[in-house]
Amino acid sequence: RKLTENGVIAAARTGDMRAFSELVRRYEQTVYRYSFKLCRDREKAEETFQDTFINVYRKLGTFDGRSRFSTWLYAIVTNNCLMRHRKRKIREIEESLEALESPATSPDGKFVHDIARWDETPADIVMDKELRAEIEKAIGKLPPDYRIVFTLRDMEGKSTEETARIAGISKEAAKSRLRRARAFLRGQLTPYMAHPVRRKADK
């Protein structure tokens, strides 16, 4: 007999590893997809994915059921991604200071940017690869706090209330950040969208 989500959670909280594995199986795609959208990098998304389920294993006893389990899970992913971003910024500053003393270059001088898939989200839009790449670049320029709200609302289809709970902010703050994120993206994409005829002629 297949256990309900609450049944799986209750069993996992007692230390039942089969139940915990089932919990991972049910949510692994959701966690990885959201991690990728926030981190914008496959390696960082995989690290966030691993950190998240380690956190879930350690903190499952603190889940009180007052919110949905998915909301609690999204909040863990969000916190992990923000922590990685902050650590990366600190590391970049340290590396910049070191570079002033001893300039260094990348071994191959190449940087690979993975473009996240959009076809598995509520924001499902048919668009050419060129436009998709432009949108990905624009989203990547959003500050993390704004990217989180935009991703949850416009890409994951979460409500304002749930977005606010996941991000740990008020509903008004969530609405404000979403408005600013959308305005920023419109500003980034306006030059591209203003000349669709020219773009077609260039192809």
Average pLDDT by consecutive 10-residue portion of the chain (203 residues)? 84 90 92 89 88 91 87 92 68 47 42 38 48 82 90 91 94 93 86 55 46
Q: If you ran DSSP here, which 8-state letter would residue 152 be given?
A: I
The alpha-carbon radius of gyration of the chain (Å, integer) is 20
pLDDT recorded at residue 15: 87
CA nearest to 37, candidates 26, 48, 27: 48
Buried b (16+ CB within 10 A) or exposed e, 8-38: bbebbeeeeeebbebbbeebeeebbbbbbbb
Cβ count within 10 A of residue 82: 16
Question: Are the C-beta atoms of 160 and 154 separated by less than 8 Å?
Answer: no
Question: Are the C-beta atoms of 194 and 176 separated by less than 8 Å?
Answer: no
